[in-house]
Structure formats: C-alpha cells, structure tokens
Amino acid sequence: MKPKVFLAYPIPREVEDFIAEHCDYRKWDSEETISRSQLLKEISDVDGLLISGGKIDQELLDFAPKLKVVSNVSVGYNNFDLAAMKARKVMGTNTPNVLDETVADLVFGLILATARRISELDRYVKDGKWQSGIDDHLFGVDVHHAKLGIIGMGRIGEKIVRRAKYGFNMDVLYYNRKRKLAAEKNLGVKYCTLQELLQESDFVVLMIPLTAETTHLIGREELALMKKTAIFINTSRGQTVDEEALIVALEKGDIRGAGLDVFEQEPVDPSNPLLKMPNVVALPHIGSATVKTRFDMAMLAAQNLVKAVSGEIPPNLVEE
C-alpha cells in the first residue's frame, strides 16, 4: 500500500506525477490558499504533508496522528514548531540552494531600482510629467564602486557578493553570527561589527533567517546609525525589521530609501505608509518567483516528501 500524502500547495503537473508514482495523494484544488480549518480536516490519515508556510504546531500535529513529514516548498522554516515536531518524531524539510541565484538577482534588482529611482521615474513618465529634461532633484545615485553591507553571509549572501564585486566593483562588508574566513579569502569581503556595517555602508542588505534572536534586529537604533544617503534592502523576512521604525526613518529622511520584498504582515495592508512613499520599492515577496526556480523548489519538496514517507532520510532535513 502506498503512503498517503496531502498537497496543500499547488505544484506543477510533472511534480504531481512524480508524487503519484510513489504515493496516494489528495490535493487542495483551489486558487485560494487553504484555510487552517480545512487543512486540519484533510490531514487525519496522511503520512506526509506538502505545504508552503502555515503553522506546523501542536494543534496541527494532534489532528495528524500518522504524520511522518512536513515538506515546506520554501527555504525558510520559521513556520515549524521544531520542538513539537521532534517530540512527535515528525520530520520537517525545506528547499535550500535551488533559489540562491534567483534571490540574489532580485536583491540587485532592488538595489538598482532604488538607487536609480526606476519605479518612481517609471510613474513620472507614465503620468505625463516628463516634459523636458529632468531636474537634479530626481537624480539617483551610483551603484558601481559604492560600499555594500550584507547582514547574513549565507549561500545567498555569497551570490550577492559575486554580483557586487565582479559586476559593479563594489566594496563589500559583512556581518554574520559566525565569521566566514573562506569567504573573506575567496571573495575579498571584510568582516565587521553590525554597528560598523550600518555606519559605513551605502547599501545595507538584510539576508538573515527569522528566529527569536533576529526578530526586529533592525530597529530605531540601528537605522539611526545608517548614513542619510544609505538605502536599505530586505529580502529575508519582514519580522526581522521593526517596520514602524523604518517608516519613521524614511519619513524623517534619516535614510535615502528602501527596497522591500517582505513585510511584517503579508499580504501588506494597502494603508501601510510604506506603499505611499516614492523612495520605497515594494514587491509581493517574489524572491524565488521565476518559473524555473519555483519548479525546482516544488520538485525538491516532492523528493523530500517521498523519501521521508518511504522510510528514508530526506536530503533536506531540518535539524536545528
């Protein structure tokens, strides 16, 4: 008898076919995100669950007595209550590596869009305001040869460094929980304290996981250390930043601008002041959102799922 799994997240047909070879499955067949109450109804008899976000906590585990694995279609896993899952011997998996280059591309898209005011000036043209040359109050700033500070030197951070160093001749500082001597030697980056990075960088990129320690890592005091000409980029998790403090810093002109792919509450409230600011580029959490990368993530999540329900150790087991 094949193991039973529930697919709570839409995946490509080819990935679904792969799962079908190894498992009996049901799926949430709607464009709307599955509700918590509906999810709990679907998992009473399943060995595996494929999902993207949504709390995996004691309540959910109590509704799924046969559950062996939760496979996240995401590199993040802050939705996992790892202690509760460990107590129940339920494995959790994620999809690292396959999205690194794609996210690094987006980081540089945000750097360029904010520095050269691309979104703002796109609206300027489309609104019919371009009557002659533009005044210097609409000028942007250079990215090439500027100083980039990366908070969080993981796999994606290293991909960002390569773009910065080899594509834009930028000096790169980094701050990380653990110093990366190999990156310093191979990539020519300089380690510094968080305070030094914030004070010296022209662009500050936040690339950290969301944990209890990193929640609101960037707040009022940290923003006050940044140059008034600095631009802040966040493609990690919205909760790593005190959003109210960021709003105040932007309103007061304490920093030049921000490029944000993530927010404290998602989808973001249309009344959020950040959405009204011309010096903010706001995106709907699209870090990995390309056709190929999302396919690769779904297939990796499926492979993790199948391995685990088949009694094997999945390749991307979350263990911390």
What pLDDT score does 13 carry?
A: 97
Mean per-residue pLDDT over the chain, rounded: 96
Of the residues 42, 120, 158, 237, only one is catalytic, namely: 237
Distance CA 233, CA 61 (A): 36
- Whether 69 and 125 share a structural domain: no
Q: What is the pLDDT of residues 24-62, one digit of tens each?
A: 999 999 989 999 999 999 999 999 999 998 999 999 999
**Tokens representing 154?**
């993981």
- Whether 155 and 246 share a structural domain: yes
CATH for 150 = 3.40.50.720
- Whether 27 and 148 share a structural domain: no
Q: How many other C-beta atoms can be found within 10 angstroms of the C-beta atom of residue 171?
A: 17
What pLDDT score does 31 carry?
A: 85
Mean pLDDT of 216-243: 98
- Whether 91 and 104 share a structural domain: no
Three-state secondary structure of 242-295: CHHHHHHHHHHCCCCEEEECCCCCCCCCCCCHHHHCCCEEECCCCCCCCHHHHH
Domain hosting 154: range is 100-282
What pLDDT score does 76 carry?
A: 87
- Whether 42 and 170 share a structural domain: no
In a domain, 156, yes or no: yes
In a domain, 37, yes or no: yes
Kindly provide the b/e burial profile for residues 298-316, where b requires at least 16 CB atoms within 10 angstroms of the residue's own CB: bbbbbbbbbbbbbeeebeb
Q: What is the pLDDT of residues 299-310, one digit of tens each?
A: 999 999 999 999
The β-bridge relationship of strands 4-7 and 24-27 is: parallel
In a domain, 317, yes or no: no
Does the active-site annotation cover 144?
no
- Whether 111 and 92 share a structural domain: no
- Whether 120 and 217 share a structural domain: yes
- Whether 150 and 77 share a structural domain: no
Of the residues 14, 244, 251, 266, only one is catalytic, namely: 266
pLDDT at 320 over 80: no
What pLDDT score does 165 carry?
A: 97
In a domain, 198, yes or no: yes
In a domain, 36, yes or no: yes
In a domain, 178, yes or no: yes
In a domain, 316, yes or no: no
- Whether 268 and 296 share a structural domain: no
Kindly provide the b/e burial profile for residues 173-204, where b requires at least 16 CB atoms within 10 angstroms of the residue's own CB: bbbbeeebeebeeebebebbeeeebbebbbbb
pLDDT at 319 over 90: no
Please, what is the angle between helix 155-168 and helix 100-115, to 10°? 50
Tell the residue number behind the tokens 């060995």, with chain if given.
47
Distance CA 242, CA 46 (A): 39
Three-state secondary structure of the chain: CCCEEEECCCCCHHHHHHHHHHCEEEECCCCCCCCHHHHHHHCCCCCEEEECCCCECHHHHHCCCCCCEEEECCCCCCCECHHHHHHCCCEEECCCCCCHHHHHHHHHHHHHHHHCCHHHHHHHHHCCCCCCCCCHHHCCCCCCCCEEEEECCCHHHHHHHHHHHHHHCCEEEEECCCCCHHHHHHHCCEECCHHHHHHHCCEEEECCCCCCCCCCCECHHHHHHCCCCCEEEECCCHHHECHHHHHHHHHHCCCCEEEECCCCCCCCCCCCHHHHCCCEEECCCCCCCCHHHHHHHHHHHHHHHHHHHCCCCCCCECCC
Mean pLDDT of 166-172: 98
Question: Which pLDDT band, with edges at 50, 70 and 90, does 186 fall under?
Answer: very high
- Whether 44 and 182 share a structural domain: no
Tell the residue number behind the tokens 């799922």, with chain if given.
305
Q: What is the pLDDT of residues 253-275, one digit of tens each?
A: 999 999 999 999 999 999 999 99
Does the active-site annotation cover 21?
no
- Whether 63 and 137 share a structural domain: no
In a domain, 174, yes or no: yes
| Total of domains in the chain | 2
What pLDDT score does 15 carry?
A: 98
Does the active-site annotation cover 179?
no
Q: Which of 101-110, 114-123, 127-136, 138-147 has the lowest mean pLDDT?
A: 127-136
What pLDDT score does 105 carry?
A: 98
- Whether 65 and 105 share a structural domain: no
